[in-house]
Amino acid sequence: MNKIPSVNLLDFLSENPKDKQKFVDLIGQAYETIGFVALKGHFLDDSLVDSLYCEVKKFFDLTTKQKQNYEVPGIGGQRGYVSFGKESAKGKKEGDLKEYWHFGQFVQNNPELEKEYHKNIEVLELPEFNKVGKETYRMLEKTAKYVLRALAIYLQLDEYYFDNYIHNGNSILRPIHYPPIKEAPKNAERAAAHGDINLITLLMGAQGKGLQVQNHEGKWVDAIAEPDELMINVGDMLSRHTNNKLKSTIHRVVNPPPEKWGTSRYSIPFFMHPISDMNLNVLENCMDAENPKQFEDITAGDYLNQRIKELGLNKK
């Protein structure tokens, strides 16, 4: 497959059973083959997207010293600012050519999870930054919920199977800034080849070349969304849970050609995580004689902690 399929969430939300099933089949088949889809019909409106990008650019335009005031040691980069070059892909020593911010869950009516999760960090210089970030988080979380409902149907589970696992889940909204490149990078990329940790990822800002997906033949395919589309891919947690029936695809953000080194790139992924005690044990209906169990039992929280260490963000 050399093209990312496009689907429309409005088909799933329609009252027409044929349209709903068409969406389920298309997205399920895409995730079995290439692991990515471009999604129209999501819950983000243009004004919210414009406001978020405006605030994000204002934040990354702050001085390095100002930004580093929001970098919290000892939490594996799970909230607030992570400075340039701190994160590296699994198995790679060079840091990615990026800096980013993390918004986490805004917990509702669950004091235990409020204690478990790190608190969100307020940017004092930009009063609208956190407000717009929270609203975007909510709309992407809502979109992700319906995508997972469609996948539950595709997997022959109850449609609402994932709902209780993702309510108050440990999800992350990550505005990323890839700054202008000032000299030839030595073995470093804007984001080296990697698979995502979580259940699914919803990506804003995949317009234009940069993001590439590796298909099953090992070929890199450009993943370019239309302005009204989100790029959505399967993460390793969902791949484990489905015994690799739904594919977590390796992807990367390549450096631009030298004539475009002077430009910034912004992208904003939403990493949909479940609550930490969700078991990622392989689903019974994803195993048979031809497809034996491929993964050990583990909880989402333990798996996340493993991966944060591999990214170099937590040395403990």
Q: Could you state, in chain order, the average pLDDT of each consecutive group of 10 residues for the chain (316 residues)? A: 84 96 96 92 94 96 96 90 78 78 95 94 96 97 98 98 97 94 78 89 80 86 88 96 94 85 90 96 94 96 88 58
Q: Per the domain annotation, does 269 fall within a domain?
A: yes
The two tokens of residue 155 are: 């997997």
From 86, 102, 262, select the one nearest 175 (Cα to Cα).
Answer: 102
Query: How would DSSP label each residue in 74-99?
Result: TSTT-SEEE-TT----TT--SPPS-E
pLDDT of residue 89: 61
**Number of domains observed in the structure of the chain:** 1
CB 267 within 8 A of CB 231: no
This prediction's pTM:
0.92
SS3 150: helix
Strand order across the 220-222 sheet: 191-194, 251-253, 211-214, 220-222
CATH number at residue 68: 2.60.120.330
Q: Per the domain annotation, does 316 fall within a domain?
A: no
Q: Per the domain annotation, does 143 fall within a domain?
A: yes
Provide the domain limits for residue 108.
6-310
Q: Angle between the 46-60 and 127-154 helix axes, to the nearest 10 degrees?
A: 130
The label of the residue with tokens 């609203």 reads: 135
Measured distance CA(268)–CA(270) in Å, rounded: 7
Q: How many CA atoms lie within 13 A of 295 on its CB side?
A: 22
SS3 106: coil
Measured distance CA(244)–CA(224) in Å, rounded: 25
Dihedral (C-alpha) 120, 124, 125, 129: value to the nearest 10 degrees? Answer: 30
The two tokens of residue 315 are: 């040395």
Q: Per the domain annotation, does 1 fall within a domain?
A: no
- Which residues neighbour 218 within 8 Å (Cβ) at sequence distance 6 or greater? none
Q: How far is CA 236 from CA 72, 201, 214, in A?
A: 26, 10, 15
What DSSP state is assigned to residue 22? H
Q: Per the domain annotation, does 315 fall within a domain?
A: no
What DSSP state is assigned to residue 294? -
Supply angle C-alpha 90, 294, 300, rounded to 5. Answer: 60
Query: CA-based diameter of the chain, in Å?
Result: 59
pLDDT of residue 187: 73
Q: Angle between the 127-154 and 17-33 helix axes, to the nearest 10 degrees?
A: 100
